[in-house]
């Protein structure tokens, strides 16, 4: 369910302005998306794991708020990001 430092570094290089730009909302959305995908796979195997399901819902809500912030400030960046990460609107 957690992602490695190497994965975070790779996502930061891809979506951030530099390799230490982990505070960028686009990077945060990419990291959250990776964690959400991992938890989704876990919940397909363990459907009764309600504690992980709650964590998943919290992550999805946090990602939604960050995406709303990006959309408010730069609509084109928002559209590019959801297309690149394959996120539904």
Q: Where are the domains of the chain?
A: 5-85
- What mean pLDDT do residues 21-31 have? 94
Topology (CATH) of 5-85: Helix Hairpins (1.10.287)
Answering whether pTM is above 0.75, one says yes
Cα 16 from Cα 60, distance rounded (Å): 21
Indicate the pLDDT class of residue 18, thresholds 50, 70 and 90: confident
The Cα angle at residue 29 between residues 26 and 77, in degrees rounded to 5: 35
- What mean pLDDT do residues 4-17 have? 92
């Amino acid at each position: 369910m957690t992602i490695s430092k190497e994965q975070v570094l790779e996502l930061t290089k891809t979506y951030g302005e530099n390799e230490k730009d982990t505070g960028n909302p686009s990077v945060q959305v990419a990291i959250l998306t990776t964690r959400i995908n991992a938890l989704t796979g876990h919940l397909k195997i363990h459907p009764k794991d309600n504690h992980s399901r709650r964590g998943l819902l919290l992550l999805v809500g946090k990602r939604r708020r960050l995406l709303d912030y990006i959309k408010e400030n730069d609509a084109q960046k928002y559209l590019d990001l959801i297309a690149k990460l394959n996120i539904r609107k």
